[in-house]
Amino acid sequence: MRKIYSKIESISGNVITVTATGVRYKELAVVETKYGPSLAEVIRLRHDEVALQVFNGSRGISTGDEVRFLGHPMMVSFSDNLLGRIFDGSGRPRDGGPELTDSLIEIGGPSVNPAQRIIPRRMVRTGIPMIDLFNTLVESQKLPIFSVSGEPYNELLARIALQAEVDLIILGGMGLKYDDYLFFKESLEQGGVLSRTIFFVHTASDPVVECLMVPDIALAVAEGFATRGKRVLVLLTDMTNFADAMKEIAITMEQVPSNRGYPGDLYSQLAARYEKAVDFEQAGSITILGVTTMPGDDVTHPVPDNTGYITEGQFYLRNGRIEPFGSLSRLKQLVNGKTRPDHRALMDGMIKLYASYKESLEKKAMGFKMSDWDEKLLAYGELFEREMMDLSVNIPLEAALDKGWEILAKCFEPAETGLRSDLVSQYWPTKV
């Protein structure tokens, strides 16, 4: 029988302290409040002073409320019964279905032994040329969408999820607007994949601490399935909310902030989650697609900045398009050597020219006379944006490559493209 403590010593932010013995770091407790029970997690021990972070927040907690330690850390149920179900950030059902308590597993477990990983090798086809051709997505990649709020990032996420060939989709929502939650539900339902989807959703109106649990729960479940041979796609939206929740707790705990109020371990904390993306030898895989909204469209803001240093590239969403600059899939070279011989060269060549187009555009905006070369670039840039960048374009990679050559041939002489002669002779379209 575990002891019950009935004196809360301090309440500050979402953190309470009690005097207790025999408690373990990261152990779970239940706080019985007037408004119902809430889970809480031990986040610091100092002699017999125990600090706990309360999932439901400390609002309404009274110093006389009871705290009961459970003797184990945070766990989540893991079985096929999860499929098609919707839970909140503490793992409680959100869909009116039964609570699941069978075969509990720990969350936030140790990392995969690097020696047990394999080199990712399968391309994830999305039908989006800006991804397939220029920044190929690879199974087991961790990749966020960088975006300002207001951009259609959730739509993009859902579209990729529906097109990707995976066994299982897990959606981790953090600070999700209710409408967006409904949007995901509807589009996955319409896409006919709801039965192999699991939702862990924290909405904007839920207590902030629960937001912190979402990635760990979602990824623990994903790991469970992946080690059993399933190819899992985890969608995490929006990781900036997750980081902000961490910041809130750190400030309450009076930690010295490192950068704009964020804790010094922001990098390690984010990495611990993203690094769960993995391809196992003789088992399944976890691919993580996240959303990182950039406050003030500032990519040097600590959250996108740290994320960029952790993930294997990012898709930069701006004005409803995936920008070629800033966007990057670092795993692309693992797969784009095996697609078509012109893939890599075209990918680099077209982007270099697009960069030159941007320069010409700038010159034009400053009122300079446009040279012939500038004019060619301008024509190219427009074509490129319309036929490659527009998100409504939905074609397979091979068609996108052909289209690439077509665009080049319409605008340039072969020598102007900087592409190697052998490729030009093989792929340059004959004059139309």
Partner 1 sequence: MKTINRVIGVSGNMVSVEFTGEVAMNEVCYIVTGGKKLKSEVIRVKGNVADVQVFEITKGIGVGDEVEFTGELLSVQLGPGLLGQVFDGLQNPLPQLAARCGFFLERGIYPSPLDESRQWDFTPSVNQGSKVEAGMPIGSVKEGIFNHLIMVPFYLDGTLTVKSIAGAGLYRLRDIIAEVEDEKGNLHQLTMVFSWPVKRPVKCYAERLKPSEPLITKVRIIDTFFPVAKGGTYCIPGPFGAGKTVLQQITSRNAEVDIVIVAACGERAGEVVETLKEFPELIDPKTGRSLMERTIIICNTSSMPVAAREASVYTAVTMAEYYRQMGLHVLLLADSTSRWAQAMREMSGRLEEIPGEEAFPAYLESIIAAFYERAGLVRLKNGALGSVTIGGTVSPAGGNFEEPVTQATLKVVGAFHGLSRQRSDARKYPAIHPLESWSKYPGIIDASKAEYGRSILFKGDEVDQMMKVVGEEGTSLEDYVIYLKAEFLDAVYLQQNSFDPVDSAVEPERQRYVYDFIMEVLTAELKFGSKEEARGWFNQMRQGFLDYNGKPWMSDDFKEQEQAIRRLLAEKVTASAGAGTQVSCKESAKLAENL
Ligand X SMILES: Nc1ncnc2c1ncn2[C@@H]1O[C@H](COP(=O)(O)OP(=O)(O)OP(=O)(O)O)[C@@H](O)[C@H]1O
By the criterion CB under 6 A, which residues form the site for ligand X? 309, 328, 330, 333
Angle subtended at Cα 68 by Cα 215 and Cα 248, rounded to the nearest 5 degrees: 40
Structure tokens given for 93: 């059902």
279: enclosing H helix or E strand: strand 278-279
378 binds partner 1 (CB under 8 A): no
Residue ranges in 207-236 that form contacts with partner 1 under rule CB under 8 A: 227
Shortest Å, Cβ 203 to partner 1: 28
Size of the site for partner 1 (CB under 8 A): 79
* 16 SS3 class: strand
Q: How many Cβ atoms are within 10 Å of 156's Cβ, its own excluded?
A: 22
Could you tell me if 201 and 171 are in contact, meaning their C-beta atoms sit under 8 angstroms apart?
yes
Considering the complex, state which of residue 171 and residue 220 has its C-beta at the smaller distance from partner 1: 220
Considering the complex, state which of residue 106 and residue 406 has its C-beta at the smaller distance from partner 1: 106
* Single-letter code of the amino acid located at 254: E
Could you tell me if 323 and 316 are in contact, meaning their C-beta atoms sit under 8 angstroms apart?
yes
Residue ranges in 314-373 that form contacts with partner 1 under rule CB under 8 A: 314, 325-326, 328, 330-331, 333, 337, 344, 348, 351-352, 355, 362-363, 366, 368-369, 371-373
CA-atom Rg of the chain in angstroms: 25
Shortest Å, Cβ 84 to partner 1: 27
Shortest Å, Cβ 51 to partner 1: 9
35 binds partner 1 (CB under 8 A): no
Binding partner of residue 44 among ligand X, partner 1, none, CB cut-off 5 to 8 Å per kind:
partner 1
Q: Which position among 259, 361, 379, 395 is part of the footprint of partner 1 (CB under 8 A)?
A: 259
d(CA 207, CA 424): 58
Shortest Å, Cβ 377 to ligand X: 23
312 binds partner 1 (CB under 8 A): yes
Between the two ends of the chain, the Cα-to-Cα distance in Å is 84
d(CA 335, CA 122): 7
Please choose, out of 156-164, 266-274, 287-295, 400-408, the segment that lies near partner 1 by the rule CB under 8 A: 266-274
Beta bridge partners of 232: 168, 286
Considering the complex, state which of residue 99 and residue 281 has its C-beta at the smaller distance from partner 1: 281
Shortest Å, Cβ 205 to partner 1: 30
Considering the complex, state which of residue 320 and residue 326 has its C-beta at the smaller distance from partner 1: 326
Q: Which position among 7, 26, 338, 386 is part of the footprint of partner 1 (CB under 8 A)?
A: 26
Could you tell me if 203 and 178 are in contact, meaning their C-beta atoms sit under 8 angstroms apart?
yes
47 binds partner 1 (CB under 8 A): yes
79 binds partner 1 (CB under 8 A): no
Pairing of strands 313-318, 142-147: parallel
Could you tell me if 226 and 220 are in contact, meaning their C-beta atoms sit under 8 angstroms apart?
no
Pairing of strands 285-293, 278-279: antiparallel
Shortest Å, Cβ 311 to ligand X: 8
Binding partner of residue 355 among ligand X, partner 1, none, CB cut-off 5 to 8 Å per kind:
partner 1
3 binds partner 1 (CB under 8 A): no
Considering the complex, state which of residue 7 and residue 121 has its C-beta at the smaller distance from partner 1: 121
Binding partner of residue 300 among partner 1, ligand X, none, CB cut-off 5 to 8 Å per kind:
partner 1
Angle subtended at Cα 114 by Cα 111 and Cα 119, rounded to the nearest 5 degrees: 120
d(CA 417, CA 415): 5
Token pair 């190819």 in the structure block, residue: 231
Could you tell me if 351 and 134 are in contact, meaning their C-beta atoms sit under 8 angstroms apart?
yes
Q: Which position among 119, 296, 392, 431 is part of the footprint of partner 1 (CB under 8 A)?
A: 119
Binding partner of residue 305 among ligand X, partner 1, none, CB cut-off 5 to 8 Å per kind:
partner 1
381: enclosing H helix or E strand: helix 372-384
309 binds partner 1 (CB under 8 A): yes
Structure tokens given for 273: 């989650």
Closest residue by beta carbon to ligand X? 330
Shortest Å, Cβ 333 to ligand X: 6
Could you tell me if 233 and 196 are in contact, meaning their C-beta atoms sit under 8 angstroms apart?
no
Considering the complex, state which of residue 79 and residue 333 has its C-beta at the smaller distance from ligand X: 333
